[in-house]
A = this chain, B = another copy of it.
Amino acid sequence: MKGILLFGHGARNPEWAQPFHRIRDAILAREPEALVEPGFLELTRPSFDEGVDCLVRQGATKIVVVPIFMAAGSHVKKDLPQMAANAMDRHAGLVISLAAPVGEAEPVLAAMADYALSVDPDDEGAER
């Protein structure tokens, strides 16, 4: 069974993880049976390992890691493959694949472009 790990950087402020939970909710709204968990590099829980373990406990045998990063910097290119290799060592039979970061997906960039154009500098929403 396939699982999806939403891989993020992590930050000191716990609210920072909010968008990751909203992506998870959006995935579950589309596919209620999906196995999907966040997993962070540092500072924010669950960690990458905790996210993987949680998916495995739910029955995942193949995990696709989706980096919620704009581009593949050293966290995606170096840290992530190492963490994935360690997780496969820990779970016999588990296969982990690494997807391209969301920032390389055209529809994601298009949504960001639409959003940037929609912001009105005179809106109250915009802060000084």
Please indicate the chain B residues that have their CB under 8 angstroms from the CB of A52 in the complex. none
| Contact in complex: B2, A97 (CB < 8 Å) | no
Confirm or deny: A92 has a beta carbon within 8 angstroms of a beta carbon on chain B: no
Please indicate the chain B residues that have their CB under 8 angstroms from the CB of A30 in the complex. 113-114, 117
* Given A97-B128, A116-B4, A26:B73 Cβ within 8 A: no
Please indicate the chain B residues that have their CB under 8 angstroms from the CB of A13 in the complex. 73-74
| Contact in complex: A97, B23 (CB < 8 Å) | no
Could you tell me the distance between the alpha carbons of A26 and B125 in the complex, rounded to whole angstroms? Answer: 24
Copies of this protein, total: 2
| Contact in complex: A73, B115 (CB < 8 Å) | no
Closest residue of chain B to A80 (Cβ to Cβ) is B127
Confirm or deny: A41 has a beta carbon within 8 angstroms of a beta carbon on chain B: no
* Given A2-B121, A105-B115, A110:B26 Cβ within 8 A: yes
Closest residue of chain B to A88 (Cβ to Cβ) is B128
B-facing mask of A65-79, CB < 8 A → 1, else 0?
010101111100000
Could you tell me the distance between the alpha carbons of A20 and B116 in the complex, rounded to whole angstroms? Answer: 12
Could you tell me the distance between the alpha carbons of A100 and B87 in the complex, rounded to whole angstroms? Answer: 35
| Contact in complex: B110, A126 (CB < 8 Å) | no
Please indicate the chain B residues that have their CB under 8 angstroms from the CB of A108 in the complex. 108, 111-112, 115
Closest residue of chain B to A99 (Cβ to Cβ) is B119
